[in-house]
Each structure stands twice: as structure tokens, then as C-alpha cells.
Amino acid sequence: MLNASIITIGDELLIGQTIDTNSAFIAQELNRIGIWVRRRVAVGDVYKDIWEALDEERKQSSLIIITGGLGPTADDITKPLLCKYFGGKMVTDPGVLEHVKYLFEKIYRRPGPILERNLRQADVPDVCTVLHNARGSAPGMWFEGPDDRVFISLPGVPHEMKGLIQDQVIPRLLTRFPLPAIVHRTAFTAGMGESMIAERLVDFEASLPPHIKLAYLPSYGMVRLRLTSQGPDRETVENELLPFFDQLKTFIQDVLVTDTDEGLEIVVGSILKGKGKTVATAESCTGGYIAHLLTSIPGSSAYYQGSVISYANEIKEKVLDVPHETLLAHGAVSEETVIAMAQHARKLLGTDYALATSGIMGPDGGSEEKPVGTVWIAVAGAEHTATLLLNLRFDRMRNIVQTAAQALNFLRKFILAHE
């Protein structure tokens, strides 16, 4: 298998100011075409460190992909460094120059003349193949090393990097290297922990051929089970893997959410759309996060109507008609309150179902009776209402994400139970 290294460049990555999402995206795209990412390295905007990273990674991998350091400012040193590293000289690429002028004159439309530093984006080493960046001014660059290594330099801006990977890099890699087919099949489970699932699958895992691997991927109370195999062609690999995947599903049928690698927001949306039903949300502690997940899916307007973010008790009373007496007697974080929130949200927004949340996300606000992490969830339909109590133990953001995941799964189970 072809090994790859990813080098990300930028001081902002090392101090935590920017989260490196580029490496994850590149690794996923490479894996799809049969390239294994062996190492991921982050270095700052330091000439010596970048040079040493290039030397080290060329010992480890046949493909080295670099992101960052291609902008127009003084700290963007990747391009001149690569020029020297591969023994070239800087030249102006006419195609890139034309593209830069087009962007600044027709797309960005910034007042005043184009700065010289922006025009210098068209300068590239004469020893590289230029990769057209349709989404920005910094071109990608493809270098062939004397030791048959391939180095690819891409902008650090995620939107631009993704376009180059998909439009330029992947097609070229497919013609440059003989690559195996890698096939994944993923089962998405909820309601059972990783270790308990592993206990169920001891004999199944032992029966797998050596080249078929089972991975456990836990996240926010859910566990993805991924079977992976590889071979010379996709059809052969898929035909071999499918019976094992079908067998895997028989061991986890009671906790299986879906047998495709997709999020709960997609699963719930598909169920609602398939049944011609609609849902609304009434969110307190999650602050609209569930609405964000549902509306991140194209076409969600077919089944998602809207949300009331009733963070304050006054909004719970005035908009969602939660009785003042209920709040006084039981508090905002209570089963009685989320029932009222869900039932009134369903009527207010005219939907078949409504999902409500109220809880204490932390780090403050808890009490002995209701500690941080106490969350109530309710789902209301025309004839039934159900509730779920969570006792979470994480930081604020993870509590919110965990609540959203549990709430969507609770909604999924409610719909299927009362169809």
C-alpha cells in the first residue's frame, strides 16, 4: 500500500488558535482511493523546521502533502522554501497571474489597484506542476522528487484546499500510482457501550480473515463498528466483505441505528421524510444545537418546521405556555417542564412531533438535587409523550453535543415505536 505523510504549516496550529481540520479531510480522501496516511506532522512558520519535516517525511512516505504557508504575507514561506528544496527558480505563471487578476477585478472587487504582494501569488517554482486553485489566488504545486517521491503543496484555507484535493490532486494520484481498493462498511449503534458490544463480538471478530479488520469508534454515547478490507479491485473486495457485514449486524440488531456511515440527523431526517411527517424543537439547554444539526441537511425543510429556543423561563411561559405553577413547583429542569415544552411546541408549530430539552450544562448552576449534567428530554406526538433523563459528566460543550445526540436518537426510537 502507498504510504502518505501530511505536513501542516502554521504557528496558529501549534498554539491551538486554529484547529487542524485539513489533515482529517485529506486523510479521508486519500483513504478512499487506497492510500494509507502513515504520519501527520504540524510545524510552525520556521524555515528550518519545515525543511527538516520534509527531509524526515520523505524517509517515511512516498507521498507528502503539505498545507499552509502559501499566502501573500511575510510569514508565508512555504513556496520559496520548496523552490530552494527542489533546486528551482521562481517564475511567473501566466495562467495563475490571469486568474489572480480576475479574482481581484471581477470577484473580490476591492477598491484601488491590486497590490504587488497579491500579484506575486502567480510566482511559482519552475520545477513544479501548477495545480489550478479555482477557489482562491494561491495555486497548488506538484513536485516530483529524484527518489520517486511526490510532494504536493496546497493552501491552508480549508475551502481552497478541499477544492484542490477533489478537482486536482485525487485525479492525478489515480493516474500516477497503482492503488488498491479499500472498502469500509459501517454499522451505527446506540444504547450499548463499546466494551459490551465487544463482548458480543468476541467470536465474530476471531472468525474474521486477517485482512478484514473491525474497528470500534465510540462517540457521544454511540458506537460505530467499521469493517475494512482491501484488494486489487472494489467489486471483489465488496463481494467478500458484504457477508461478514451482514453477519455483524445480526449480533447488534437490537442496538443498530443504521447500516450506513451517516449521522443521527440524517437518519432521523430520512425516517421523517419517508413517513411524510414533520418535527419541531423546543430547546433550552442545547440552545438551538439540535436545530442546527437538523437544518445542516439539504432538503430538511421537507420535515423540519422550526424551533423555539426558550432559554429563559419567561419564554417558556409566554411562548410555549409552560404553566408558571409547573416552573415554581418543579423547576425549569424537570420532566413536567419538558413535557409541557414539547406538547405546546408541537401545537404552536403545527408538527407531527416535537422534541424538547432542558438541563444544566455547567460548569455552574447545579445543586445537590440537580447536579451539573442533569438533562430532561421529551418527545411529543399527537397521542403519546415520552421522556428521558440524562446524567452527564462532561464539560459544557460536550454535554450539549451529547444531549443533542441522545435527543435525536430518542426521537428516532419514539417515531419507530409509534408509527
Q: How does pLDDT run across 36-79, given as a tens digit for each residue?
A: 999 999 999 999 999 999 999 999 999 999 999 888 877 789 99
> What pLDDT score was predicted for residue 112?
77
Percent of the chain at pLDDT above 70?
A: 100
The pLDDT of residue 147 is 87
Strand runs labelled E in 198-352: 213-219, 222-231, 256-258, 279-283, 304-309
CB 357 within 8 A of CB 410: no
Which tens digit of pLDDT belongs to each residue from 78-87? 999 999 999 9
Q: Is the pLDDT of residue 135 over 80?
A: yes
Task: Report the C-alpha gap between 75 and 50 in whole angstroms.
Answer: 13
Give the pLDDT confidence score for residue 72 in this predicted structure: 82
- pLDDT at 328 > cutoff 90: yes
Determine how β-strand 181-190 pairs with β-strand 222-231. Answer: antiparallel
DSSP code for 114? P
In terms of C-beta distances under 8 Å and separation of at least 24 residues, what long-range contacts does 73-79 make, across chains too?
Answer: 73/117, 75/11, 75/45, 76/45, 77/45, 77/47, 77/50, 78/9, 78/50, 78/153, 79/123, 79/124, 79/125, 79/141, 79/153
Q: What is the pLDDT of residue 109?
A: 81
Over residues 26-36, the pLDDT tens digits come to 999 999 898 99
Torsion of CA 82, 85, 86, 89, to 10 degrees: 70
Q: What is the mean pLDDT of residues 171-197?
A: 93
Q: Are 69 and 77 in contact (CB under 8 A)?
A: yes
Q: Which of 340, 347, 335 is nearest to 278 (CA)?
A: 347
pTM, two decimals, is 0.82
Average pLDDT over residues 185-197: 94
The pLDDT of residue 207: 96
User: What is the DSSP-derived secondary structure letter of residue 102?
Assistant: H
Residue 332 carries which DSSP code?
S
Q: Is 92 exposed, middle or buried (0-12, 13-18, 19+ CB in 10 A)?
A: exposed
In this structure, how many other beta carbons lie within 10 angstroms of the beta carbon of residue 96? Answer: 20
DSSP letter assigned to residue 300 = G
Distance CA 177, CA 101 (A): 35
Joined together, the cell numbers standing for residue 162 give: 478541499
Residue with C-alpha cell 499566502? 71
Half-sphere exposure of 351 (CA within 13 A, CB side): 29
Tell me: the pLDDT tens digits for 232-247?
A: 888 999 999 999 999 9
